[in-house]
Amino acid sequence: MFKRVLIANRGEIALRILRACHELGMEAVCVYSKADADAPYLKLADRAICIGEAPSKDSYLNISRIISAAEIADVDAIHPGYGFLSERADFSEVCRDCKIEFIGPSPEAMGKLGDKVEAKRYAKAAKVPVFPGSEGAIEEEQEAVEVAAEIGYPVIIKAAAGGGGRGMRVCRNEATLRTNIAKAQQEALAAFGNGAVFVEKFLEDARHVEVQVLGDKHGHAVHLWERDCSMQRRHQKVVEEAPGPLIERKKIQGVCEAAAKLVKSAEYAGAATVEFLMDKDQNFYMLEVNTRVQVEHPVTELITGVDIVKQSILIAAGEPLPFKQKDIKVNGHAIECRINAEDPDRDFMPSAGKIETWELPGGPGVRIDSHVVPGYYVPPNYDSMIGKLIVHAETREAALTRASRALSEFNVGPIKTTIPLHKRLMRNAAFARGGVDIHFLERLLKG
């Protein structure tokens, strides 16, 4: 078992991992940039090491500085959290070379599932439903045109190494496809260091449904059912929930089982999320596999009772999964609201600065994952998420009521946050009916 773990991240997820380490009896070493020198969770760490200046490339994305900190602190393992270095196969490899356990998949397994083209190949073999489209990367413009003619327009060009909603182009006819292929390849090369692109069917109206899976080093993989993350703005999730409302259970069960099979077939150890778009007839099409713990993992924890972060640490330490698929039972409904330091009234302009008022909700079924305390200064250098409110109740209706109640107790100032938006969403009639699509929020904000 690990004695000491380094957390190569910041903010709420750093604190989430620190808490898991302490509950497992492990020491937690935090790294921080100069912008985070006063972060309150550093006081809870067994050791905190400054790794550089505020810009991520000089600190949280700097592999040699993180490895140096790991060696100085003599840690057994590194947890990368989400974002930053979490999906970098080269980082996983450097850890292995330095004999430090990377809490996440091996570079090989990450290569198989983290690359969208490769993942699609494995998915087909595991009978995970994928979008109709090109088999592998597109080399020539003509190839793309032929694929599109076969599957029909609209199509979307995507980068094999893409992420963060970047490098995608929707093409509604052959002329646009022809003019966009070479551009997309150049753009992908510049942005991701890998120019491979592929073409798939573009789905106009869909819901985002994803499956949480845990794989261990002994060839087991168990899914923890699905989450619906359709409430999005600019491809960024705003609200997530589990289970997905109005989804036929038999259908989703098949998809979840296939997702677990996919993870197993890649000999993948750790937490993975298989993301899908679901059309009106509840057909599923795989988008990609995220090879790390996700922001929205708590909703799954609340409905299954499985601590995903602790499990990811135990898996890396070589422990077999302590449960089988049949042991995973869904209990009630959970909803997460991402609290961002942004002003919803000013086009979500980032609202960095000092938080004077920070009054948290409480009571039954309310969980707050946040590193913020009163007096905390939100640095302008990083992601604007400052915490998550997650509620759990017996039914979806009760969870919505509970979320509204909790939000009414949640006071933050003087910085602006997305709390007022969440209050509005939790009372929205269409959201309450369930099954809103991924463009719902943008339509609501426009209207």
Alpha-carbon gap, residue 145 to 267, rounded angstroms? 35
Of the two residues 27 and 437, which places its CB atom closer to ligand ADP in the complex? 437
Q: Residue 199 — φ and ψ, nearest 5°?
A: -120, 135
Alpha-carbon gap, residue 125 to 285, rounded angstroms? 14
Contact between residue 222 and residue 210 where contact means Cβ atoms under 8 Å apart: no
Q: What is the DSSP letter of 424?
A: H
**Closest Cα to residue 212, out of 240, 231, 245, 238?**
240
Q: Is 292 a catalytic residue?
A: yes
> Near ligand ADP by CB under 6 A, which window of 92-100, 163-171, 240-248, 416-424?
163-171
Query: Does residue 361 have a cis peptide bond before it, meaning omega lies within 30 degrees of 0?
Result: no
Residue 288 touching ligand ADP (CB under 6 A): yes
User: How far, CA to CA in Å, does 7 sit from each of 41, 53, 80, 82, 308?
Assistant: 12, 17, 6, 11, 16
Among 156, 191, 330, 352, binds ligand ADP (CB under 6 A): 156
Among 7, 209, 438, 441, binds ligand ADP (CB under 6 A): 438
For the bound state, the minimum distance from the C-beta of residue 390 to ligand ADP, rounded and expressed in Å, comes to 21
Kindly name the residue from 207, 292, 338, 367 that is annotated as catalytic: 292
262's enclosing H/E stretch is helix 249-265
For the bound state, the minimum distance from the C-beta of residue 204 to ligand ADP, rounded and expressed in Å, comes to 7
Residue 208 touching ligand ADP (CB under 6 A): yes
Considering only residues 224 to 243 of the shown chain, the ones binding ligand ADP according to CB under 6 A are 235
Residue 200 touching ligand ADP (CB under 6 A): yes
> Near ligand ADP by CB under 6 A, which window of 81-89, 198-206, 330-338, 413-421?
198-206
Residue 163 touching ligand ADP (CB under 6 A): yes
Query: Which three-class secondary structure state does DSSP give residue 90?
Result: helix
For the bound state, the minimum distance from the C-beta of residue 285 to ligand ADP, rounded and expressed in Å, comes to 7
Of the two residues 202 and 431, which places its CB atom closer to ligand ADP in the complex? 202
Contact between residue 407 and residue 389 where contact means Cβ atoms under 8 Å apart: yes
**Closest Cα to residue 319, out of 221, 217, 220?**
217
> Near ligand ADP by CB under 6 A, which window of 12-20, 157-165, 187-195, 386-394?
157-165
Residue 397 structure tokens:
């209706």
Among 80, 105, 162, 344, binds ligand ADP (CB under 6 A): 162
Q: Contact positions toward ligand ADP, by CB under 6 A? A: 131, 156, 162-166, 168, 200-203, 208, 235, 275, 277, 287-288, 438
